[in-house]
Structure formats: structure tokens, C-alpha cells
């Protein structure tokens, strides 16, 4: 795949970029290695000043970088602005909290004595250069949620971004450079996927983090495992959105539209499978379908647009194949199910609701990366849990109920990295984010995320 900015609203190639040569990659790796040896000895206060400066610059650049993201991958401009603001918030949160999160841990005195020590503690040290393989759907946020904690921990970053968002990728390198980070602390590598293995196998690269598809995750995990290097993977999701009889159905249906259509439906944590108790199914179906059908599809630069184009022609065609397969199997299209009329240029797709889904349909198991929702009717909580867990993925989940017993049951039994009750899944810097099953392993954000790329070092000291 060429490294290029292709406007998904028009299909027009705007800019192309040359891939780094092997010599160029070597220079970047050498610079990262040298930078880490110096940067790892800086104080938390030093790192916080740099990250706060980067946050200030990003805040000032919000409109420009939002337009770049929209141009490169098609998200509505309003959503792009919100993504930039979210990144600023996370950067400031880690600048303020990293020292506390990585403070030495001291066991109780009795346990220290039992270990035969006069003093003992756990000290957190950075690992080194971390390779980040990042996707196009949240081209700024996915990188910042790795970079902010990694840099505050004393690591340095090597970014291999998706090939269709090169300008966003280069902006990120420039952002950290302008903030005053030493040369080599954060570098963008304009390379294709074939170059990842060689970079990851290089002895100077300490670890890797990947957000992306399951096949990409398998590949990176396999290479890193062979090299015995730490990885964090955030892969696909097919999140359930469960609505029980005690729920506020009007609100559940309203939020469901946003939960499915956010980011043009191209979000791992978007709700995708809507599992509704039979007592409230008809009311929910009516309200949800009407809400999806009312969304405005069009130019993502237009402030009134709700859903822009999909990021690629291949992505749109793959989504259509899933819908067509379901329809051939007997699924009913309640709204959408096709390319919108009047939008012949670009890779647009109508917000779509399908019902009558059966386990033999591809859409029952495969992730729908676009504004397509599947509706399921269930008889009770047991069936709701069964359908919710009937997926290879386990990223997050949404539950709508005002019954405390229902909440406890879902928290206990849903196979997911998060359970969001009476609200839609959203990431926040203070809360860990990640999944189970084929949605990956490890956690980003919060104290859990910053410790992923740290060496938890036991310090044991006898009486002098």
C-alpha cells in the first residue's frame, strides 16, 4: 500500500510520500537508542514540562490538525476537533499524574523483615525505545494514548502509523520536536507493513504496542514472542449493547445511535450488536432505526454532517459484502444497506440496521467497521449474556438496566475488558482500556497503561 493522503470523500490522491530507506531506518533506530540513554535519566518534572508544552501546542493547532485528520480519513470535522481536545486532556493528565503512578511501592514492614531485608521496595524503570504500530481511525488519539504515558515513564517512541494518514503521522513527530523533546525521543517512520518485522527484531527496540486488526496483532505478537519482547495489543471489537426491561428505552435508543455511528462507525469500541429484551424490543427497534435513518451522510468538512465516508474503498466494499451475505441468509434491512444516492464520489455508506441475524451469517462473528448495526431479540438475561459472549472479541460492552441484580450479573459474566452501565463505552485517561479474547491483551491508559512499558524492579537491601 502506498504511503499517501487520499481524500475518502472524493477518492482523490492529494499527496504521496517516499518510504524510508534501510539507511533511513537505521538512522532512526540509532537516534532512538542514543536518545533513550539520555532521556531515561530525566526527572518527572522535566518530562512533565515537555509534555505540558506539547499539549499547549496541540491545543493551539487544534483546527489545523482536525482538518488534516478529516482530509486523510474522513471523520466529521466536529469529531476531529473533539479528538484533538481529548489528546490535550490526556497529555495534561499524564503530566500531572505520572510521578504518582510510578512512585516506589513499599511492602509492609513485617513482609520486608520476613524477606530478610532491612529495606525493600519496587522501583519502576523505563524499558527503552517502544515501537508503536498505529491505525488510521483515530490517527491522533491512538498515538497520544501510547506516547503520553510512554514518554512520561522515560521511554522513547518509534511510530509506524497507517499508510493513509502520513500527514498526521509527521505532525506528531513535529509536535514533540517543537515542544523541546531531545532529538530521537519521538520519531515517525514512514514505512510500510513489510518493514515492521526488521524494526521489531532490532536489538535496540525494547517493546511494541499495536492497535489494529487481528491479523496484524498476530503478526506483531509472533515476531515479538520470538524475540522475547513485551507487547500490548488492542485489536478488534464487536461490542454488545444490551437493553433490559427496566432501562430507559428512549435514552438507550438515542445513545445507541451515537454508539454505533461514532467516527463513521469505524471504531473498535463502537457498539455493534444490539441485544434487546423482548419486553422492550419493539419500542427500541422503532426508535433506534428512526435515529439511524435520520443521520446526515455527506461532506465531513460540513458542520452539519453526522457520518462521513469510510476511510477506504476496500473498507466500504468489505462492509457491503457483510451486509449482502446477511441479506442472502435471510436478514431484514430496516434502514440503509447501500451506498447513498447523490454521493457518487468518495466511499460513503448509509447508516444501516439489520435484524434476523443468525449464527451462520458472517456478520454475526466478523467486526463491522462502518455504520452497520445488528439487532437481536432475547427472552431473558441468560440469553442476553449468551448472545453477548458469542463472539471471538471481548473489547468492551454496554448494558442498559436500572436493576442492580442485572448489573452484578453482567459485570460478573460479560467477557469484555469493560462494562459500561447506562452509557456508551468511551476511553478516559484515568481508566484502563483494553480487551480479552481476540481483542488483545495488556492495558492502555491509567496507571495500568503507564506500567506496561516499565521494568518493575525489586530493590532489596540488607542492614548495612
Count of alpha carbons within 13 Å of 15, Cβ hemisphere only?
13
**Which residue from 218, 40, 252, 42 is spatially nearest to 129, judged by alpha carbons?**
40
Count of alpha carbons within 13 Å of 458, Cβ hemisphere only?
5
Query: In the beta sheet, which residues pair with residue 370?
Result: none
Query: In the beta sheet, which residues pair with residue 157?
Result: 130, 186
**CA pair distance 58, 65, nearest whole angstrom:** 8
Q: Is residue 234 flagged as an active site residue?
A: yes
Backbone angles phi, psi at 169, to 5 degrees: -60, -45
Helix (H) or strand (E) holding 420: strand 420-421
Which residue is catalytic, options 268, 350, 444, 454?
268
**CA pair distance 265, 254, nearest whole angstrom:** 15
Q: In whole angstroms, what separates CA 277 from the centre of its chain?
A: 29
Do the strands 372-378 and 271-277 form a parallel or antiparallel pair, or are they unpaired? parallel
Specify the DSSP class assigned to residue 438: G
**Which residue from 152, 175, 183 is spatially nearest to 43, judged by alpha carbons?**
152
With beta carbons less than 8 A apart as the criterion, state whether 386 and 255 touch: no
What Å distances lie between residue 454 and 122, 130, 152, 226, 433, CA to CA?
Answer: 11, 11, 11, 20, 17
Contacts 24+ apart (CB under 8 A), 174-178: 175/54, 175/57, 175/58, 175/61, 176/50, 176/54, 176/147, 176/151, 178/54, 178/57
Q: Is residue 214 flagged as an active site residue?
A: no
Taking the chain, what is the end-to-end CA distance rounded to the nearest angstrom? 61
**Which residue from 313, 309, 175, 155 is spatially nearest to 232, judged by alpha carbons?**
155
Which residue is catalytic, options 72, 173, 234, 350?
234
Helix (H) or strand (E) holding 4: strand 4-7
Residues assigned a catalytic role = 234, 268
Amino acid at each position: 500500500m502506498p504511503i499517501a493522503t487520499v481524500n475518502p470523500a472524493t477518492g482523490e490522491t492529494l499527496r504521496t510520500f517516499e518510504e524510508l530507506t534501510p539507511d533511513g531506518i537505521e538512522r532512526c533506530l540509532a537516534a532512538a537508542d542514543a536518545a533513550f540513554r539520555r532521556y531515561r535519566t530525566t526527572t518527572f518534572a522535566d518530562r512533565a514540562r515537555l509534555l505540558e508544552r506539547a499539549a499547549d501546542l496541540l491545543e493551539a493547532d487544534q483546527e489545523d490538525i482536525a482538518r488534516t485528520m478529516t482530509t486523510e480519513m474522513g471523520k466529521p470535522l466536529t469529531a476531529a476537533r473533539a479528538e484533538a481536545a481529548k489528546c490535550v486532556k490526556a497529555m495534561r493528565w499524564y503530566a500531572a499524574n505520572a510521578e504518582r503512578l510510578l512512585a516506589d511501592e513499599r511492602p509492609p514492614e513485617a513482609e520486608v523483615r520476613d524477606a530478610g531485608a532491612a529495606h525493600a521496595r519496587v522501583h519502576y524503570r523505563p524499558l527503552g525505545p517502544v515501537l508503536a504500530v498505529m491505525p488510521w481511525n483515530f490517527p491522533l488519539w491512538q498515538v497520544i494514548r501510547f506516547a503520553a504515558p510512554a514518554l512520561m515513564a522515560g521511554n522513547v517512541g518509534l511510530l509506524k502509523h497507517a499508510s493513509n494518514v502520513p500527514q498526521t503521522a509527521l505532525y506528531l513527530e513535529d509536535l514533540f520536536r517543537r515542544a523541546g523533546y531531545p532529538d530521537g525521543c519521538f520519531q515517525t517512520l514512514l514505512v510500510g507493513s513489510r518493514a515492521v518485522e526488521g524494526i521489531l527484531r532490532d536489538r535496540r527496540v525494547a517493546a511494541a504496542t499495536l492497535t489494529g486488526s487481528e491479523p496484524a496483532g498476530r503478526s506483531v505478537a509472533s515476531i515479538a514472542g520470538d524475540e522475547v519482547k513485551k507487547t500490548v495489543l488492542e485489536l478488534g471489537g464487536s461490542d454488545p449493547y444490551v437493553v433490559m426491561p427496566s432501562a430507559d428505552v428512549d435514552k438507550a435508543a438515542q445513545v445507541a445511535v451515537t454508539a454505533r455511528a461514532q467516527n463513521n462507525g469505524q471504531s473498535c469500541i463502537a457498539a455493534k450488536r444490539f441485544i434487546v429484551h423482548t419486553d422492550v424490543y419493539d419500542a427500541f427497534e422503532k426508535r433506534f432505526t428512526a435515529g439511524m435513518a435520520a443521520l446526515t451522510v455527506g461532506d465531513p468538512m460540513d458542520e452539519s454532517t453526522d457520518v462521513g465516508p469510510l476511510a477506504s474503498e476496500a473498507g466500504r466494499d468489505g462492509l457491503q459484502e457483510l451486509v449482502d451475505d446477511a441479506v442472502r441468509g435471510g436478514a431484514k434491512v430496516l434502514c440503509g444497506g447501500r451506498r447513498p444516492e447523490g454521493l457518487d464520489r468518495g466511499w460513503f455508506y448509509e447508516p444501516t440496521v439489520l435484524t434476523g441475524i443468525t449464527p451462520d451469517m458472517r456478520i454475526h462473528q466478523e467486526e463491522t467497521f462502518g455504520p452497520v448495526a445488528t439487532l437481536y431479540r432475547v427472552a431473558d438475561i441468560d440469553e442476553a449474556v449468551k448472545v453477548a459472549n458469542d463472539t471471538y472479541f471481548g473489547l468492551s460492552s454496554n448494558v442498559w438496566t436500572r436493576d442492580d441484580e442485572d448489573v452484578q450479573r453482567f459485570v460478573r459474566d460479560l467477557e469484555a475488558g469493560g462494562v459500561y452501565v447506562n452509557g456508551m463505552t468511551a476511553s478516559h485517561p484515568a481508566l484502563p482500556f483494553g480487551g480479552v479474547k481476540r481483542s488483545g491483551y495488556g492495558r492502555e491508559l491509567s496507571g495500568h497503561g503507564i506500567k506496561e512499558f516499565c521494568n518493575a524492579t525489586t530493590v532489596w537491601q540488607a542492614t548495612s
